């Protein structure tokens, strides 16, 4: 009868092997948690749309990603959708930048917007929305932006709280990640 030799691994060697394996898994898990935390703090922040002010582009409850590095290495531009700390409330908001530093923005009772004397075309607005503004002209100050929601009749924005500081902007909208039907 042929017999296989018994495994001569001692219990001490086996314990060392198990300890090494546990240590490797622990390091992998800690690295993953640290990486996810650093990404969340410095690069991408998940955000839930709290109000219908950006409909139809962004709906209440949409879960989106905000790029926190966008304005660390770039500048704000008209048309960007940004997340910022509200100057009037304790919550963060998401709105579209309509005018930037140095722009003169004029809102008319006919629902038109002029930037530096030129009427702007806003293809992202709902076609069936009847918009009218209070006639006003505002010059956007240094390091400030004028923001508005796309759902103009249901948006608390710069028309009410004024321009916001670029320092209050903490990121730029990247994409909707939930629900999948909105990708």
Q: Which H or E run contains 160?
A: helix 158-161
> Percentage of the chain surpassing pLDDT 90?
57
Q: Where are the alpha helices (DSSP H) in 4-54?
A: 11-42
Q: Which residues are catalytic?
A: 53, 95
Whether 40 and 65 have beta carbons less than 8 Å apart is answered as no
| 8 A C-beta contact, residue 153 and residue 164 | no
Cβ-based burial of 148 (10 A; exposed 0-12, middle 13-18, buried ≥19): buried
Mean pLDDT of 91-119: 94
Q: How confident is the model at residue 44 (pLDDT cuts 50, 70, 90)?
A: confident
Q: 99 and 127 in contact (C-beta within 8 Å)?
A: no
> What pLDDT was estimated at residue 1?
55
Its pTM surpasses 0.85: no
Give the residue from 147, 138, 139, 145 showing the smallest Cα distance to 165.
145
10 has a pLDDT exceeding 80: no
Lowest-pLDDT choice from 9-18, 99-108, 156-165: 9-18
Residue 128 has pLDDT above 90, yes or no: no
Q: What pLDDT is attached to residue 140?
A: 96
* More confident position, 34 or 89: 34
**What is the overall mean pLDDT for the chain?**
89
What percentage of the chain reaches a pLDDT higher than 70? 95
């Amino acid at each position: 009868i042929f017999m296989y030799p018994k495994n001569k691994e001692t219990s001490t060697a086996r314990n060392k092997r198990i300890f090494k394996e546990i240590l490797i898994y622990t390091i992998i898990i800690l690295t993953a948690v640290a990486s996810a935390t650093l990404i969340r703090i410095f690069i991408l922040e998940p955000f839930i749309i709290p109000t219908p002010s950006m409909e139809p582009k962004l709906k209440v409850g949409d879960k989106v990603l905000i790029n926190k590095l966008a304005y660390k290495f770039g500048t704000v531009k008209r048309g960007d959708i940004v997340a910022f700390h509200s100057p009037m409330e304790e919550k963060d908001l998401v709105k579209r930048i309509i005018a930037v530093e140095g722009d003169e923005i004029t809102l008319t009772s006919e629902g038109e917007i002029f930037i530096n004397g030129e009427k702007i075309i806003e293809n992202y607005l709902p076609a069936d929305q009847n918009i009218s503004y209070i006639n006003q002209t505002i010059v956007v100050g240094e390091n400030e932006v004028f923001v508005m929601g796309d759902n103009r009749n249901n948006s608390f924005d710069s028309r009410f709280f004024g321009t916001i500081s670029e320092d209050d902007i903490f990121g730029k909208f990247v994409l909707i990640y939930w629900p999948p039907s909105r990708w």
